[in-house]
Amino acid sequence: MRPESFEFLQAYLNNPSPTGFEKEGQKLWLEYLKPYIDEYFVDTYGTVVGVINPKAKYKVVIEAHADEISYFVNYITKEGYLYLRRNGGSDPLVAPSKRVNIFGEKGIVKAIFGWPAIHVRKVEQDKAPTIETVFLDCGASSAEEVAEMGVHVGSVVTFEDEMTVLNDKFYVGRALDNRVGGFMIAEVARMLKENKKKLPFGLYIVNAVQEEIGLRGAEMVAHRINPDVAIITDVTHDSQSPMYEKKTAGDISCGKGPVITYGPAVQNNLRDLIIDTAKKAEIPFQRAAATRATGTDTDAFAYSGSGVASALISLPLKYMHTTVETVHKDDVESVTQLIYETLLRIEDGHDFRYFV
């Protein structure tokens, strides 16, 4: 990865972008993207779309989502402790002893997830932490002191953890789900510009908000763009580490390439074009099967309007919805390359229907 790209990836991953509060991360992403696009727009809830060839009638989307799981302050005790509710699929099991940032009216307030010491617990009776039992300590001794710090019910909370590199092979951190996707589609735009590739269609590079609470940003922007084709990138579970059951999770591994999904929302001809592209470009890939839905923004695009030819290219990831989400460097490069190569094979007016 070129140094400038790595610097952007690091800054983008480290910048908090909780669901519903993605603004600062979106501004960062857009600044990186601007040199490679013709124009852009931002919708009411913060989805950002960079456009190449905006006057073209035929429209192709490449999309990722920008938001990360987080918490809201829900209740403040008279002693100054904070109880929470989840914003997205946050896992209370990983919370105890973690450091967090609370976004208050006066700026960021540092806090920690407290937990009773092993000495005072009946360990044999221990239960897993839940949203009802985890709590924050921001160093206050009363509800009034918490208020003076600018923290109130509704203040959003994110983990403090930042990106690291593991064994020179893996990127590790919080919110790789799915800001690494935003990074990859921005890199596709850069490659098109720097390689002087002229596309015969309009390309919409979409970084959508509010995926973690039900694909909401993608729903909104799909109706606005009304595309003909959508290629979505998100993360999927690496199933090689302990406690995974391959019979249900599939056999997916970090380092073995992009994951191409089969399922009702995935348009078969578009998916087959992607597979053929991977083979011709000698990009290793893996396969996965979805059930009724992919659980990604693919579903929102596929079923919008009169139906959009949509496909999903996933990045294998370890430890989803923790503060140590982990992806392989090679997979990041391969997913980026596969999206890029696929775009070069889509024609103006490309008809993906199964028969006419």
Active site positions, annotated = 211
Closest CA to 177 of 297, 260, 263: 297
Q: Is 20 helix (H, G, I), strand (E, B) or coil?
A: coil
Which token pair is 273?
């074009």
Which position has the token pair 């929302």? 265
Phi and psi at 7, nearest 5°, equal -60, -40
Phi and psi at 88, nearest 5°, equal 95, -165
Cα separation, 202 vs 185, in Å, equals 15
Query: CB-hemisphere CA count at 13 Å for 169?
Result: 5
Give the Å distances, CA to CA, from 276 to 45, 79, 252, 256, 280: 37, 62, 20, 17, 6
First and final CA of the chain: distance in angstroms?
Answer: 44
Strand extents, DSSP E, the chain: 39-42, 48-52, 59-65, 70-76, 81-87, 99-104, 107-114, 135-137, 156-159, 164-166, 170-173, 202-208, 229-237, 259-262, 286-289, 309-317, 325-328
